[in-house]
Structure 1
């Protein structure tokens, strides 16, 4: 039976419980406020994009094609900083060690995750753990390009020349383990030819020396297109499974008899591990919108590449798929980083 004392006791307990609930709700709301404020505040200062290769290369050009439109939608400056060296590791590490607040990003070839751990066994950071994929940007093809006059102007004649002159030709690349270097190694293995590899600190310096006749050929990541169109260089083949719409008469190496030859790589953006998911999602959404625009598609066509919209998870899966493909040639050829 309820008595006045029992009722007063229950009333006190209920009051205490209610006060406790109010306190708990207030605490939860207080905890949620920083996250809400964070989502609303970002970005409130300039964003830096580190390109881990020198100016003029594919990564640099892709970054600059995206950062201009990106700063318009974010309402803050997006500044590109080139930090090349060690196959991209110097720039990659600088981002991996940055504060994960959305204000420092990395633009890199997919080789940062799919290649570098194979050729740099003692890396000072783990790109698969210390970086998170944000957004893919473009699938970059490579093109077998030579200087006209000295060598045969068709792929069959070029391969026959290499077979007749083993080790006498040189080819340049942006550096050991770069996708153009791996394309060169894959080409030698599948065509059963040999040439001397000359690593550079970026694709642009290699192109300069090809134009000057200091090296004999390159697997170009798209920056030589204007020179091919002007007749200063000759494109012999495409190192992908599909031809380039810019050069529809140039065969793929697969068509030339190197079955399954595919040296494509995907370039994209990464952030330091721990970057808030809402920022990653926002960046992925905005970058995917930018790369779907006609202006970006036209820019990539000029590089011989294609826009590659992906979610962060799809970008990660693509890197893991490429790691199997490139890892096999790296291990077979015992390729090591600079």
Structure 2
């Protein structure tokens, strides 16, 4: 089957009314990921389907499918399917895991360790400044900043990463060809060019209130941890925090003034046992083991793939091979195990900076962490 036909089958399946993600994933698994086989089975069972689904399968809207295919044909536009080996492994374990994601930009970023930074749309200037500072430091530490492209805290987090020349991921509550809010059209274009814009919703889908909780589960699901900066008691960010907790992820909250109504959501989270943080280094330290485990899981998945070599080539290095600081660190490390304090003395870098750099090198398979807090450069690097 040619590629165009495969995409058409997938889009036809995704547009079939009434098929929930759990049932669709089950059908795809049984059909070994073949959308055409799932469609054939659905048509055989047409009498059991809802009238809307039956009508769509009998006569799909060819104009709509053609528009979907046109969107996919554009440069850097992708449909990332759950049957592919580089589908984000963290999303596999969340309730109602998505069947596919529309991505504008670099799909490999979705495999990187991420931190979600979320908060109030009506954030204060101080709150946006705090969010930007956390996002900037986390991005510098090697984590991709993930958020929802909303006004306020979300926008400040995305912009902080972009200002540092580092990628960021925006998960949106519309189709991948829409922008919400409209004022963020330039920001969405920047994110797409330097990072990735992600949507579970089909092209042409407009913003709706119920889309944003669904978007929030993906923000939380992609991320190793979620940081909440300024949130009222009715904030949608608390939904993201709750979903992250239910998914077994770390949740962090920044405290604020007792007189600030936008601090009350964060204070409630802290009372409920969420980790209070005052600096990005606390998040980096907490998430480092999970980031290493994610790297191990990703390597295992790709090694089992028949296209393992191709997929591994797609893993990002962000120019670290040519970065003088990383080159200096590798030269200082040599091929004998060395402790962090030794490397700090050899390079002049702080332990916090070195920890972040070594984490990224370890995830790229260039450095191995050993017992006793030592590190060793791998052969051939």
TM-score, reference length from structure 1: 0.26
| Higher RCO, Cα 8 Å, sep 6+ | 1
After TM superposition, the score normalised by the length of structure 2 is 0.24
Higher helix share: 2
